[in-house]
Amino acid sequence: MSSRTYVGLGANLGGDLLATLTQAVRALSALPGTRLVAVSSAWRSAPLDASGPDFLNAVVGLDTTLPPIELLDALQAIEQAHGRERPYRNAPRTLDLDLLLYGDAVLGTPRLTLPHPRLGERAFVLRPLLEIAPELAPLATCRGWQAQRIERSGPIPI
């Protein structure tokens, strides 16, 4: 049985950020037991709790039969293929893939927390997520996200 999942994508290093997000969407859609069901627009935002160039962000909806930890492993492998490094918390990155929601799963392990613990606080997640899944509006739990600078950049060519 498949589960509807949502994955946040972000990049602020490495040149053509739109191309990076496009490649990541294609890699996600090619995962075994996974079907791409929605892709948000690309959204440009300032780094939050960090420094560096602006991020380009998006959210995709997937139906997948991969269990959550296997999906997390696949996301991290895609990040690694794009040169992702983790020198310190909130460092600029070539590609960041965050598992935001996995069906109705609630999980708290050292490797994975579901739903994503800061899901309701960040405009760069909420704007693209609500674009493709407006029924998830109750997840926008913190009012501060509405004041964060973010602008729609355009479609992701897939």
Q: Which residue has the tokens 């892709």?
A: 39
89 is annotated as an active-site residue? no
Find the catalytic residue in 44, 54, 98, 118. Answer: 98
Let me know the angle formed at the C-alpha of 60 by 69 and 138, rounded to the nearest 5 degrees: 90
96 is annotated as an active-site residue? yes
Find the catalytic residue in 26, 96, 118, 143. Answer: 96
Over 73-100, what HEC string results? HHHHHHHHHCCCCCCCCCCCCCCEEEEE
Instruction: From 38, 32, 4, select the one nearest 114 (Cα to Cα).
Output: 4
Q: Which residue has the tokens 């791409």?
A: 36
Measured CA to CA, the distance from residue 71 to residue 13 in angstroms comes to 24
Find the catalytic residue in 93, 118, 149, 152. Answer: 93
98 is annotated as an active-site residue? yes
Active site residues: 84, 93, 96, 98
